[in-house]
A and B are shown apart, each in its own frame.
Chain A
Amino acid sequence: MQNRKILNKRELLFIIPVLIAAAALFFVSRYYTNSENGTAVISVNGVEAARLSLSEDTVYRPDGANVEITVKDGKAAVTYSDCPDKVCVRTGYISSGAIVCLPERVTVKIENESHTNIKVDIEL
């Protein structure tokens, strides 16, 4: 076999488009996982009921629980709950972490990877 360059023209023609495609895929996937403000994931009784973008102000009332969830200015709050202790309402607006209403069995969890550099496995 004769001496040759590490990559010949033919191989380059194959590899360069692949790298470009990979780079494109990388940025597209990053864009989709890191939407600007994150998402409020609402669950009732452990079952996901809705995913609300924090970029859009909205008021949401899930089926199966007497609560009202409000998204405003990139944050989410439980603004009304039929529960006796109101721990959830007192929590106020959050942009990370979670709000739990035990009596109504509702959770509001913020999914937002860009918020912190540290990947947290569990919030205590």
Chain B
Amino acid sequence: MVIFKNKQIKQSAVAVLFLLLLAGCCRTPSPAQKEAFIFDTYATFKDYSGSEENITPIYDTLSELSIEFGKAYGAEAASLSSAALSQCASETAELNSIWGSTVNLTCGAVTELWGIPTENARIPDDSEISAALSKVAEPSIYSGGDFSGFEKGTKLDFGAVSKGYACDKAYEALINADIHSGFIVSLSSSTVFYGEKPDGSSFTAAVKNPLSPDEYLGTFVTGESFVSTSGGYERFFELDGKKYDHIISAETGYPVETDLLSVTVIVPAATKNGGILSDFIATSAYAEGTENLGKYLECSDFSIIAADKNNKIYISGGVDLTLNEKSGFVYAEQKNP
């Protein structure tokens, strides 16, 4: 009878397992999540092992960094002294030397003049614009990360790179904190994907439809990576039926006019300073429009998903995009294998 009893226990165990399985209780723990308003945006921290403690050091790192970048806003460039801002500036200058100066950190006075998207947004007159433009310098000026020599009135605008830079710092913090679970830090326009999910699967990211925030343009699967998106569909200023982009050209002093709606850039996490690279390229490619998109699509350091105003999608090889067929967007040409 002892044997039978053991069997009964065994069978009960199997039955209980069945019960759990059927009820779906064997699902992996739900991720721990924290939301915060930092970097002038909405941030999400997600730990897939469900550990709130893992989130704390990463949140603290970015929260401190956010305060550093906040100091630059509206301030005289010459008055700034911050290790983070200096590092971010010299990394940006390095990217400028390769990719040109569509992104220019010294355009602070111009962006401030337009005030998009704040309550002070307005169309400045030409004299104001030329006065602000006179305070814009060549990017090489900030290559050393030293701001002390900037002339009075020059202001720095880190908007095009700060969130990508922050993702680099988040990635560093995740490694330093010895976190082994899957982790996502999203600063809305820039996101870092770290590790892998408990079941070993990759992350699924959704790109918003720039014409309809209610739905997705598509989804793609990604491993460890930095992803940044630039677009004019959320932050803009509208007057007399004309939309003014929040990205101001450091060359003309006017909001950029682009035939693109959004550009998403995916950089493998192993890339040095991949976060700032993703942010920089997203802004540059978006502002430069389809005319200049080719060089970004061809570069093998990152992958691109771009949507233009003719409802066309451009993607580089290696992006596993699942297009939302209902979005109304179609591939511009034959999808690269």
Residues of A within 8 A of B (CB): 1, 11, 14-15, 18-19, 21-23, 25-26, 29-30, 43, 45-46, 75, 84-85, 87, 91-97, 99-100, 102, 105, 107, 116, 118-124
Partner of A100 from B22, B188, B191 at Cβ < 8 Å: B188
Instruction: Verify if B15 is at the interface (C-beta below 8 Å from A).
Output: yes
**Could you tell me the dominant secondary structure of chain B's interface residues?**
strand
Partner of B206 from A95, A100, A123 at Cβ < 8 Å: A123
Say whether, besides A18-B18, A96-B214, A107-B42, A118 and B205 are in contact (CB < 8 Å). no
The CA of A56 and the CA of B46, in the complex, are separated in Å by: 30
Task: List residues of chain A with CB within 8 A of the CB of B188.
Answer: 100
CB atoms of B186 and A122 under 8 A apart: yes
Task: List residues of chain A with CB within 8 A of the CB of B128.
Answer: none
B163 to chain A minimum Cβ distance, whole angstroms, is 12
Q: For this complex, into which size category does the number of interface residues on chain B fall?
A: 35 or more
Say whether, besides A96-B215, A121-B184, A84 and B37 are in contact (CB < 8 Å). no
CB atoms of A85 and B118 under 8 A apart: yes
Across the two chains, which residue of chain A brings its CB closest to B118?
Answer: A84
User: Which B residues between 54 and 68 are near A, CB-CB below 8 angstroms?
Assistant: none
Say whether, besides A19-B18, A46-B35, A100-B188, A122 and B44 are in contact (CB < 8 Å). yes
Task: List residues of chain B with CB within 8 A of the CB of A119.
Answer: 204
Given contacts A84-B118, A100-B42, 5 further A-B contacts (CB under 8 A): A43-B35, A120-B216, A122-B205, A124-B189, A124-B191
Instruction: Verify if B19 is at the interface (C-beta below 8 Å from A).
Output: yes
> 23 A-B pairs, CB-CB below 8 angstroms?
A1-B3, A14-B11, A14-B12, A14-B15, A18-B15, A19-B18, A43-B35, A45-B37, A84-B117, A84-B120, A85-B118, A94-B213, A100-B188, A102-B40, A102-B42, A119-B204, A120-B204, A120-B216, A121-B184, A122-B193, A123-B208, A124-B206, A124-B264
Instruction: Verify if B72 is at the interface (C-beta below 8 Å from A).
Output: no
CB atoms of B18 and A93 under 8 A apart: no
B178-192 vs A, CB cutoff 8 Å, 1 = contact: the mask equals 000000101011010
CB atoms of B191 and A97 under 8 A apart: no
A25 to chain B minimum Cβ distance, whole angstroms, is 4
Q: Which of B82-90, B152-160, B227-235, B294-302 participates in binding chain A?
A: B227-235
The CA of A46 and the CA of B59, in the complex, are separated in Å by: 13
**Could you tell me the dominant secondary structure of chain A's interface residues?**
mixed
CB atoms of B18 and A22 under 8 A apart: yes
Residue among A23, A92, A94, A123 with the highest chain B CB neighbour number at 10 A: A123
Partner of A97 from B41, B119, B213, B234 at Cβ < 8 Å: B213
10 A-B pairs with the lowest CB-CB distances in the bound complex, closest first: A84-B119, A22-B22, A85-B117, A22-B19, A25-B23, A46-B35, A18-B15, A100-B42, A120-B206, A94-B214
CB atoms of A122 and B46 under 8 A apart: yes
Say whether, besides A15-B11, A87-B234, A121-B184, A97 and B208 are in contact (CB < 8 Å). yes
A13 to chain B minimum Cβ distance, whole angstroms, is 12
CB atoms of A122 and B206 under 8 A apart: yes
B233 to chain A minimum Cβ distance, whole angstroms, is 10
B61 to chain A minimum Cβ distance, whole angstroms, is 17
The CA of A27 and the CA of B331, in the complex, are separated in Å by: 40
B293-328 vs A, CB cutoff 8 Å, 1 = contact: the mask equals 000000000000000000000000000001000000
Partner of A87 from B12, B35, B235 at Cβ < 8 Å: B235
The CA of A123 and the CA of B19, in the complex, are separated in Å by: 34
Say whether, besides A11-B11, A45-B37, A124-B206, A29 and B191 are in contact (CB < 8 Å). no
